[in-house]
Amino acid sequence: MTLPELAAHVIQQFTKTYGRAPRWIAAAPGRVNVIGEHTDYNDGFVLPMAIERYAVMAADSASSSPSSSISIRDTAEGVEPATIDLAAPVKPGKPKWSNYSRGVIAGCLARGISPGGLDVLLHSTVPLGGGLSSSAALEVCTATLLEAVTGQQIDPVEKALLCQQAEHEFAGMPCGIMDQFISVMGRENHLLLLDCRSRQTELVPMNDPSVAILIINTNVKHELSGSEYPTRRKQCEAAAKTLGVPSLRDATADALERVRNKTDEVVYRRARHVIGEIERTLHAAEGIRASNWPTVGQLMYASHYSLRDDYEVSCAELDAVVEIAEGIGIKGGVYGCRMTGGGFGGCAVALVKAEAIDAISREISADYKTKTGIESTLFSSRPAAGATILKG
């Protein structure tokens, strides 16, 4: 569904649920990271794009009293509605999914952005738990809705950081800044090269009609994803300490080799991934600027192997997708493929020839089913625009 179609759908659903039309509508996209994985919390570079999948929220002032609460209903079946009381300090609570919105509302209130009671309808087309940042989309959508309601604008960097803080403090996930930044700052037909240290951004055009981004959802999510992430962060900090640098952004492959014998073997491999991945990301940005697709594709494969072998955040299903894609090769229209996002399941991303996308999708889907017994979900997306107010 396009954004206008989504807006029309949400207006209809809101009217059905609350018996009147919504006054405000906001949308924020999910993202796929083309390259630069597990580099954001190491002050490195990332190169994601926003995708044409969105969290959308429609709202009106609360009709019922007490009107000092925000009610959020989800259009998906079986999702428990949330009521967030604004009369008391906003704290983490139930249902669990509401913590992304709770955290953002708390952050907005602390900045004097006070929406008052609201009736909200949420509709998301970002696959949940697929490594496409459905949670960042929900956070950024909540912040954008509050901007629409109050007429107060939050500076984009501050908005992304506010959403990241919500994820840290209300969802207990010590994420980096990539997901929230791209959901706020995405631009149509552009990737976002983000320097996670300086927070400077560069929009890298990606509008060559001969290539397309294909997203392959393995439809598995291994439990490890939550617990392993903070462990990786700590291992990176340990490596930086051994190297005597503030973060792995400041380290080089040579410096790492020099301390290899006094570094724990696992910590060494984690650092090798991060140092290599930061370089690969900068090279990939150059490759994209030059439309050098074979080079970008090779960097994507290299990124995957490094995430699989050194960082150990891949899984059998993601490896199967990448192997199949590599088997198809450039001849069959695949330039490169890698896991995307935090890992342990979720999605892979492939750079493919646009003309071959249907044949490639059929082949990956069939071979993945044969190899794993699991049905995958595939879709392609152009780089999309960041969060927007659709009505208000």
Binding site for ligand GLA (CB under 6 A): 37-38, 40-41, 175-176, 178-179, 341-342
Q: How near is the Cβ of 60 to ligand GLA at its closest, in Å?
A: 32
The nearer residue to ligand GLA, 33 or 361, going by C-beta atoms, is: 33
Strand partners, 48: 33
Q: How near is the Cβ of 157 to ligand GLA at its closest, in Å?
A: 15
347 in Cβ contact with 376 (< 8 Å): no
Known active-site residue 309: no
**E strand or H helix at 134:** helix 134-150
The nearer residue to ligand GLA, 22 or 341, going by C-beta atoms, is: 341
Q: Give the CA count within 13 Å in the CB-facing half-sphere of 144.
A: 31
User: How far apart (Å, rounded) are the C-alpha atoms in residues 341 and 346?
Assistant: 8
Picking from 99, 64, 97, 71, the residue whose alpha carbon sits closest to that of residue 86 is 71
The nearer residue to ligand GLA, 179 or 367, going by C-beta atoms, is: 179
Six token digits for residue 254: 């040579």
The nearer residue to ligand GLA, 35 or 118, going by C-beta atoms, is: 35
The nearer residue to ligand GLA, 69 or 306, going by C-beta atoms, is: 306
Q: Please name the residues in contact with 88: beta carbons below 8 A apart, sequence gap of 6 or more.
A: none
Strand partners, 50: 31, 384
Q: How near is the Cβ of 279 to ligand GLA at its closest, in Å?
A: 15
Q: How near is the Cβ of 149 to ligand GLA at its closest, in Å?
A: 27
User: How far apart (Å, rounded) are the C-alpha atoms in residues 227 and 93?
Assistant: 21
Sign of CA dihedral 55, 22, 73, 16: negative
The nearer residue to ligand GLA, 31 or 73, going by C-beta atoms, is: 31
374 in Cβ contact with 368 (< 8 Å): yes
Q: How near is the Cβ of 46 to ligand GLA at its closest, in Å?
A: 7
User: How far apart (Å, rounded) are the C-alpha atoms in residues 317 and 371?
Assistant: 9
Q: How near is the Cβ of 282 to ligand GLA at its closest, in Å?
A: 16
SS3 at position 110: helix
Q: Which member of 40, 74, 119, 179 is catalytic?
A: 179
DSSP letters of 250-293? G--HHHHHHTGGGS-HHHHHHHHHHHHHHHHHHHHHHHHHTT-H
Please give the positions annotated as active site.
179
